Amino acid sequence: MIRFLNDETVAGHRFGKGAIARFDSATEAQLIAVADAENYPLISRPIEILSGSAVATSCALTAIDEVLASFTIAAGILGVNSVLQIEPLWTFASSANNKVLKIKIGGMTVYSATRTTSVKEAPLFVLANRNSLASQIHPYDNNYVVGGLDTPVTSAINFANAQTVEITGLRTNSGDTLTLEYYRILHFIGD
C-alpha cells in the first residue's frame, strides 16, 4: 500500500496528493523509487464512529430512567469478531441523593453505576464479539484491573438483528442535575 506524494495518473486513473492506494509490488516500487509515493502501512482493522455527540442532554424528570442518547446498530454492521466501545460522560450534582447511570443494548443493561457525592462518570465500556454475532465478553467491569478476582461478564446480544443502544440517567431528587455531556460509540472492525 502506498500514499501519493504528488498528483499522479496510474493506469489511466488520477490519484491526488495524499491518496492511499494499493497496486502490484512492481508498480508500487517504481512510484516509490521516483519519489511520487511512499510506503504506507496497511491498516488491517479500521475503526468507524457509529454515533456521537457533544451536545449536552439533561434529565428533566425525577425517579425515571430517562434516555439521554439513543441510536440503532443496524443488522450486519458488527462482524463476528468486532469490538464495540462506548464512551459516555455524565456530570451531576454532588449530593447524598442517588444518580443512576446506564448503558443498555437491545434492552439489556450492560453498564450501570449509582453515584452520590462525585460529580462525573466517564467509563470506557467495551463489548467484544467472540467469533459469533450473539456471544460477547466485557473486558472491563466498571474499572481497569491488572489482577482481578471477578470473572469477566459475558452477554448474548444478537447483532444479527438491529440493536438499539441507549445511554440513560436517573436522578432521585429534582434538586439535583444529571447531564449526558458527551458520548462516542466506536466500532473496531474484526477479522
Of 85, 60, 78, the residue nearest 168 (C-alpha): 60
- At 83-106, the pLDDT tens digits run 999 999 999 999 999 999 999 999
Residue 175: the pLDDT is 96
36-90 tens-digit pLDDT: 999 887 666 778 999 999 999 999 999 999 999 999 999 989 999 999 999 999 9
Tell me, yes or no, if the pTM score tops 0.85. Answer: no
Q: What is the pLDDT of residues 141-176, one digit of tens each?
A: 766 667 777 888 999 999 999 999 999 999 999 999
The grid coordinates of residue 54 equal 457533544
CATH number for the region 47-188 comes to 2.60.120
Query: CB-based contacts of 187: which residues, under 8 Å, 6+ apart?
Result: 47, 48, 49, 50, 77, 78, 82, 83, 84, 85
